[in-house]
A and B are shown apart, each in its own frame.
Chain A
Amino acid sequence: MEGWAIVARPSSYLLNKSVIFDTDRPEKGVGMAGMELRQAGGMSADTLFRRITGTGLLILFVVLTGLVVAFVGYSNPLWTIQSPIDFLTSSTWSTGTIDESGQIVDALYGASGALFGTVATSLIAVLFAAPIGILAAIFLVEFAPPRLAAPLTFIVELIAAIPSVVFGLWAAGDLSNRLRDSIEWWIASSFGRFLPFLSEDPESPAADSVFRAGFLLAIMILPMVVAVSREFIRSVPISLREGYIGMGATKWEVIRDVILPTARIGLIGGVLLALGRAIGETIAVTMVIGNAEGVPSSLFQPGQTVASKIASNIGEASGEIAIGAMAALGLSLFLLTTVISLVVRVLVRRFAVTGGRA
């Protein structure tokens, strides 16, 4: 390797793209390390290593492609008997009947009930988790003494480590009933008279409800909201805070006028990320939502989500059309979460580029 010199690094992470100048053969000029280190004939160890590690990334690409192809392919038979519009708008989910000639007739797979449940539970989850999570993050970063902030942050992170089936068991065995008798009862008795979608029979409340599933999701996504919000609040430059404090602002005024506007995009990104998590959560929701067909008349009635519908129906699905309906449900979940992931990515990138001053 004598005579090689790295003369410049065009970017910080491109090891093999380091510009290399061979001092023994100046006529060759400046080249790339990855190219220059390749030996004549045969593959160099560098190229081999590069290809092996590159295969890892390639496998991830292949898996993603496989997911898309499989879900599109398996859901295809469904579109031979009905249109995607029916799938999105109808609330009837019927496997149909078999007529004399052995053909399946009157099958209709409408997922609007499940889609409604997914949207309703995730929005309820975000409605509770976003304000509490962001305020808790503000407390952890701005108000809590370090001795308190460290263990509190740790405890919040631990919530994320609890398996969702344990949350489901806890909710089905305890939390759900407590919610029914407290928040749900209070909302129903205060607003249920004017707003039918918040009404409930106080004498015999339903055993399961969409609202309770949403509230459980709020608890489950809270750590994510807190963790992301905390990171972005911390990233607000100290000089901005000091400038405003120097003008006589109180701590809350600094938070309201400097920190929240600066970190806004990151906070939105964190909430969206948590929304994506809520949309995909399956087993805990399945255990408390009641798995009832159709669009419920009230949030305090049992319902279902796309994920819970897959979990509870996939065992019985047979035949390529019924399987196609399951794949279509999976595809809609996949599309929803993918769109959210991409939006978050764009938002957070914008935050990184502008330092939050977007």
Chain B
Amino acid sequence: MSTPVASIAKLLTQPTSGERARQRINGGMRVIVGVAAFLAILPLIALIFFVILKAAPYLVPTFFFNNPLDKEPGVLNAIVGSLQLSGLTVLISGPIGIAGGVYLSEFASPRVVAIGETVIDVMLGVPSIVAGVFAYLILVPVLGFSGWAAVAALSILTLPIMMRSTQEVLRLVPQAIREASLALGVPVWKTALFVSVRTALPGILTGVILAFSRALGETAPLLMTARGTNAENWLDFSTTMNAMPIVIYQYSNAAGDLLIGQAWATALILMVIALTINVLVRGRTVNSRTA
């Protein structure tokens, strides 16, 4: 019926059965990877939904301003404890980590860079419980269960984070800016500090804030160092301190709905703080990258 020309045209324009199969596979895989992406975000949605649901009845205003043994129990001492522990951790590991990052980026020979980066990789992989056991073995026998031991354990965990992030952002500073500064006769140390570090400062601070947020959520090292307490502790790092993760862990094992409810409420507070920090910091980084 069809002319040869028409059948050739048909062959060229109509997909063969093999081609249709390939297209079907393509469409099928598109669906599969989409489902995988959905599955990847599903836990976050489920978790946030469930924590809010469980925590809401216990999140009364007094919960933020009272201590565990008060008539209307609260977690004020855990909130201030967490902020103090993470704050001091960042104050200690921040300058050391930034200094090390500056050295790796601006001064170190290729050999030292290779060794230093390997050590950072290894330290980044150290599980938090290992840092906790280290502080428990070395510091707790000397200092007792104390904020200092907790800060030491947390600093071991945040130090490589700080160093890595500082080195990474300094690497992004264009070499030409450094050369321009040196060509003007600016000493190397001033170039490093007022040109390289100054240019990378927002990125370095982002690293500090993310390290703070990491320290805020650590639990295992705190259980064997700061231990937790019902008392309010302002800046006395030589004795036990309370922290939100400790409260969550201990209350979740406790008997009675009241304590378990308080664990959920504390979890919501901790989660909101951690997520807020990350949303603000990452949102800013994304904006400055696209701008």
Chain A residues within CB distance 8 Å of chain B: 1-2, 4, 6, 9, 11-18, 33-34, 37, 44-46, 48-50, 52-57, 59-61, 63-64, 66-67, 70-71, 74, 131-133, 135-136, 138-140, 142-144, 150, 152, 154-159, 161-170, 172-175, 219, 222-223, 226, 250-253, 255, 273, 276, 279-283, 286-287, 307, 310-311, 314-315, 323, 326-327, 330, 333-334, 337-338, 340-342, 344-345
* Interchain CA distance A253-B159 in the complex, whole Å: 44
Contacts of A219 in B (CB 8 A): 43
Contacts of A66 in B (CB 8 A): 134, 138
Q: Is the CB of B278 within 8 A of A280?
A: no
Q: Is the CB of B159 within 8 A of A15?
A: no
Nearest opposing residue in chain B for A73, CB measure: B137
Q: Is the CB of A222 within 8 A of B130?
A: no
Q: Is the CB of A287 within 8 A of B252?
A: yes
Quick one: CB contact mask for B230-254 with A, threshold 8 Å, 1 for yes?
Answer: 0000000000000001001100100
A156 to chain B, nearest CB (A): 6
Quick one: CB contact mask for B25-36 with A, threshold 8 Å, 1 for yes?
Answer: 110011011101
Which of B1-9, B66-74, B113-121, B200-208 participates in binding chain A?
Answer: B113-121
A36 to chain B, nearest CB (A): 11
Chain B residues within CB distance 8 Å of chain A: 22-23, 25-26, 29-30, 32-34, 36-37, 39-41, 43-44, 46-47, 50-51, 54, 95-110, 112-113, 116-130, 133-134, 136-138, 156, 159-160, 163, 171, 175, 178-179, 182-183, 185, 187-193, 213, 216-220, 223-224, 245, 248-249, 252, 260, 263-264, 267, 270-271, 274-275, 277-279, 282, 286
Q: Is the CB of A287 within 8 A of B249?
A: yes
Contacts of B188 in A (CB 8 A): 15-16, 33-34, 37, 46, 49-50
Contacts of A334 in B (CB 8 A): 126-127, 130
Per a CB cutoff under 8 Å, which of A154, A166, A345 touches B271? A166
* Interchain CA distance A236-B76 in the complex, whole Å: 50
Sampled A-B contacts (21; CB under 8 Å): A44-B187, A45-B189, A54-B108, A56-B95, A64-B122, A66-B134, A67-B126, A67-B156, A70-B138, A139-B34, A154-B286, A158-B279, A161-B275, A162-B271, A164-B217, A165-B219, A166-B51, A172-B252, A310-B133, A330-B129, A341-B122
